[in-house]
Amino acid sequence: MIPVYNCAVYLVETLAAVLQQAGPEGEMQIEVVDDCSTDVDVEALVRNIGHGRVKYFRQEQNVGSLRNFETCINRARGYLVHILHGDDLVKPGYYASMENLFDRYPSIGAAFCRYVYVGQSGKPLYYRDAEMEEAGILDNWLARVAGRQRLQFCTVTVKREVYEQLGGFYGVDYGEDWEMWVRIARHYPVAYDPTVLAAYRLHMASISGQSYATAKNLKDLQWVIRTIQQYLPDEEKDILFREAMKFYAHYGIKIANDLWYGLHSRQGAKIQVREALSMHRDAQLYWKITKLYIKMALNITSFIPRTKQRYN
């Protein structure tokens, strides 16, 4: 299921990557769920690329990402559901790997793979560290994923019944998937393949959004951090809470740097800094802030930002 909104420049590559390894139509549903895109005629694009193999559904009005994900889940007919954003990619072998993991470990609720970050052109930037060396069920996964986000939508396949039992994405627009992966880990084993079989695209489009200009990204992540406490053992809650708050305070300074270097947004960078300091404070954080403020004072802007939107 491929949710899209104004990402046509990448959608052709996304669809081609899926079609390259698609099973027969009776075994694999492929559908684009369009949240009223305005960039191009997405239906025509899907028709030209998919030649009837890819179905198309358009919302009657723009409903936002959470409701569009919900539509994806509700329209999915398969036993397994993969939500693949229209600007991300799967590599050859992804679906065969996921199917193999669910066959080998029938008790799991979800499975995911290692992934690579790619740039706007699709060229690799850097690789996500492997969670373990061989494919199998992850140990102590609940605590590990509660400490910080460790995966992306493009990597994860979930049993349809898991969504039916646990519900969909909710609460916030930034970090909503992290809450879901922790929720699944609380109730089900999760399997993993260390092979790089998905690509998460980094691009500039989203750092100009209001989420960053107002520090909504960090506020939403704090909501997630507090919400996932209910899924954790009592003896681990405080430790994991502090770990997550510290990690994302430092992440906020990375975003502040991206806002300054990428968009020359002095105010946006300062708002990120203020919100980061409300989450955690240590000497290293202050040092990072000092360096950023010196560069802003000197008007140093010669740097290429690294992020699209995610938080790991």
Give residue-wise pLDDT tens across range 80-123: 999 999 999 999 999 999 999 999 999 999 999 999 999 888 89
What pTM was estimated for this model as a whole?
A: 0.92
Lowest mean pLDDT among 122-136, 193-207, 288-302: 193-207
pLDDT band of residue 28 (cuts 50, 70, 90) is very high
Q: Do 81 and 164 meet the contact criterion of CB atoms below 8 Å apart?
A: no
Could you say which DSSP state residue 128 is in? P
Determine the average pLDDT of the residues in 226-234. Answer: 97
* pLDDT for residue 236: 96
How far is it, in rounded angstroms, from Cα 239 to Cα 268?
30
Determine the average pLDDT of the residues in 249-260. Answer: 94
Mean pLDDT of the chain: 93
Q: Report whether pLDDT(226) > 70.
A: yes
Q: Do 1 and 83 meet the contact criterion of CB atoms below 8 Å apart?
A: yes
Determine the average pLDDT of the residues in 152-178. Answer: 96
How far is it, in rounded angstroms, from Cα 146 to Cα 244?
8
DSSP 42-77: HHHHHHHHHTTSSEEEE-SS---HHHHHHHHHHH--
Domain boundaries, the chain: 2-201, 206-297
pLDDT band of residue 300 (cuts 50, 70, 90) is confident
Protein fold of 2-201: Spore Coat Polysaccharide Biosynthesis Protein SpsA; Chain A (3.90.550)
Q: Choose between 66 and 308: higher pLDDT.
A: 66
